[in-house]
């Protein structure tokens, strides 16, 4: 049996674990903190715009489990907010234990508070990884899903310092880029002005700290929009954020809250004293990051060069997914790339040709398009998501966007890829 070692338990790592397990791998997942899902613990937006298509494609390819959970844990389904249609918002306070139970049930070996700090290599092959306590873990194939956020030094250098986000670096230790340890230089994303990295795009307010009126509207509709006075509008914030799909003028002119269990404030950060001047926000306090009045985590500082089959360049047995694999934004994008990396890990161990998703699927096109664009200077300033910005425009232009699951099913059947992730290869 092939021993598949996955480093990083975010959405991408979990998706990779499930796909690798289903393909017959013996799967070991190492997570630095005490929770799975990483930034997924403070996210929540699914199925908005092109993500609907991507989710349905991925389910039809056979990676249905995580979407079933996000659908099951949705507080709101089929809602609209500026620039976004048919979104669903999962409850961040419910989702992690569900995913944890699923991984346990299917027999993935998950290790919490196990921080991977180095790799051991023979020529172009990783033979083992090294944990923070010097333990050596051998494996056949490795998948890096360590993300691209933090650690604290990066959040200071390119942001406003540690804002105490869910990643909790001071408690659990810094993220380590394994591809870089294996001798592959990281690619860094840029902002419009050329500086490196980007702020995470939203912060979470404690719902109990908001007025009854706001909470009521959030609970009922999932969305609360409060127009800002002219002098309060900060256009600059749109440029600095990761989530270009939310970098629309409506997001500068209004305070937009989404109900994900917390009240998700669609701005990278917002000074608390200013926020508390707004009606209904008089007692507001942050839930994530704790210092959301000052800053947010910094991302896109550690991307591995890879091919469209998710294999990292110059290392024979390392795959990657999630933000590690490109300037991607979002859980859906992480699950899409993670599932492919997980499935391909078993193929790689068997010497089989690796699966590449065709470009007439939105998922295949995103993976390939992001890889083309990252080679361009301007491309490093863009983010790639099914949910908006340039890529969603491209999806529509190429006719890849659809909410018609039946049509998608026919297409995937025609491509002979229906349920491919469910095939046991070993």
Partner 1 sequence: MAIEGDRCIDAGSEYCPCYLAEMNNCITCTRLKGKEYCDCTWRGVCIYQEYYFLNNKKRDIRQYQEVSIIEREFIGKNAIIFTLKVPQSLARQLKQPGSYIFIRNSRLEQFFDMPISIMYADHTEGVIKIAVEIHGVKTQSIKNVEDTLLIKGPYWNGIFGIEEMKKTKNASCLVLARGIAQAPAVLAVKYLMKNKNDVKLLIDRSTTQYNLIQDYCNAEILNDNCDFYSKEGKELLRHYLNIGNYELIFIGGSDYLHQNLLELISDKDKYRIVLTNNKEICCGEGVCGACTVYDADGIPIRSCKTQIKHQ
Site for partner 1, rule CB under 8 A: 115, 117, 132, 150-154, 156-157, 161-162, 169-170, 172-174, 176-177, 180, 186, 301
Laid out side by side, the sheet with 263-265 consists of 223-227, 254-259, 263-265, 203-205, 286-288
Rounded to a whole number of angstroms, the minimum distance from the CB of residue 114 to partner 1 is: 13
SS3 labels along 349-405: HHCCCCCCCCCCCHHHHHHHHHHHHCCCCHHHHCCECCCCHHHHHHHHHCCCCCCCH
Nearer to partner 1, 48 or 149 (CB): 149
User: Is the CB of 82 or the CB of 161 nearer to partner 1?
Assistant: 161
Start-to-end C-alpha separation, the chain: 7
Q: Which backbone phi and psi does 242 adopt, to 5 degrees?
A: -65, -45
User: Nearer Cβ to partner 1, position 132 or 409?
Assistant: 132
Minimum distance of partner 1 from residue 291's CB (angstroms): 12
Nearer to partner 1, 157 or 393 (CB): 157
Give the shortest CB-300-to-partner 1 separation in angstroms: 13
Q: Tell me which H or E stretch contains 344.
A: helix 331-350
Q: How far is the CB of 230 from partner 1 (least distance, A)?
A: 34
Euclidean distance between CA atoms 426 and 424, whole angstroms? 6
Question: Are the C-beta atoms of residues 39 and 147 closer than 8 Å to each other?
Answer: yes
Question: For partner 1, which is the closer residue by CB, 157 or 274?
Answer: 157
Which lies closer to partner 1 via its Cβ, residue 180 or residue 221? Answer: 180
In the 8-state DSSP scheme, what is residue 215?
H
Nearest distance from C-beta of residue 295 to partner 1, angstroms: 12
Alpha-carbon distance of 364 to 329, in angstroms, equals 16
Provide the minimum distance between the beta carbon of 151 and partner 1 in the complex, in angstroms, as a whole number.
Answer: 5
Q: Which two tokens stand for residue 351?
A: 């010497």
Cβ(45)–Cβ(89) below 8 Å: yes
CB of 118 to partner 1, least distance (A): 9
Closer CB to partner 1, residue 78 or residue 135? 135
**Residue with structure tokens 């790339």?**
337
């Amino acid at each position: 049996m092939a021993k598949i070692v996955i480093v990083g338990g975010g959405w991408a790592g979990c998706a990779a674990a499930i796909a690798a397990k289903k393909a017959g791998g013996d799967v070991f997942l190492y997570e630095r903190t005490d929770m799975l899902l990483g930034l997924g613990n403070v996210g929540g937006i699914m199925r908005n715009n092109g993500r609907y298509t991507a989710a349905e494609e991925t389910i039809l390819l056979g990676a249905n489990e995580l979407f079933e959970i996000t659908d099951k844990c949705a507080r709101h389904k089929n809602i609209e907010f500026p620039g976004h249609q048919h979104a669903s918002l999962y409850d961040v306070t419910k989702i992690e234990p569900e995913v944890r139970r699923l991984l346990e049930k299917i027999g993935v070996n998950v290790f919490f508070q196990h921080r991977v700090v180095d790799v051991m290599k023979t020529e172009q092959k990783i033979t083992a990884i090294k944990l923070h306590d010097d333990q050596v873990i051998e494996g056949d194939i490795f998948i890096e899903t360590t993300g691209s956020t933090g650690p604290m030094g990066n959040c200071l250098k390119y942001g406003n310092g540690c804002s105490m986000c869910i990643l909790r670096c001071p408690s659990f230790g810094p993220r380590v880029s394994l591809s870089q340890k294996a001798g592959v230089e990281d690619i860094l994303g840029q902002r419009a002005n050329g500086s490196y990295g980007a702020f995470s795009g939203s912060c979470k307010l404690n719902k109990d700290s908001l007025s009854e009126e706001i909470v009521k509207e959030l609970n009922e509709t999932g969305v609360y929009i409060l127009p800002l006075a002219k002098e309060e509008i900060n256009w600059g914030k749109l440029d600095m954020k990761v989530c270009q799909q939310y970098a629309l003028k409506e997001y500068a002119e209004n305070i937009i809250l989404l109900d994900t269990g917390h009240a998700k404030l669609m701005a990278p950060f917002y000074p608390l004293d200013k926020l508390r001047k707004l009606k209904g926000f008089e007692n507001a306090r942050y839930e994530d990051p704790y210092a959301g009045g000052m800053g947010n985590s910094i991302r896109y500082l550690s991307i591995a060069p890879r091919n469209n089959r998710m294999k990292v360049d110059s290392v024979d047995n390392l795959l990657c997914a999630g933000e590690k694999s490109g300037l991607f934004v979002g859980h859906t994008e992480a699950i899409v790339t993670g599932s492919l990396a997980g499935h391909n890990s078993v193929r790689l161990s068997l010497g089989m040709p690796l699966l590449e998703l065709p470009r007439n699927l939105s998922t295949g096109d995103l993976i390939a398009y992001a890889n083309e664009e990252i080679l361009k200077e301007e491309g490093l300033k863009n983010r790639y998501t099914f949910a908006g910005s340039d890529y969603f425009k491209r999806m529509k232009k190429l006719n890849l966007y659809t909410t018609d699951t039946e049509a998608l099913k026919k297409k995937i059947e025609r491509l002979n890829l229906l349920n491919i992730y469910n095939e046991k290869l070993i």
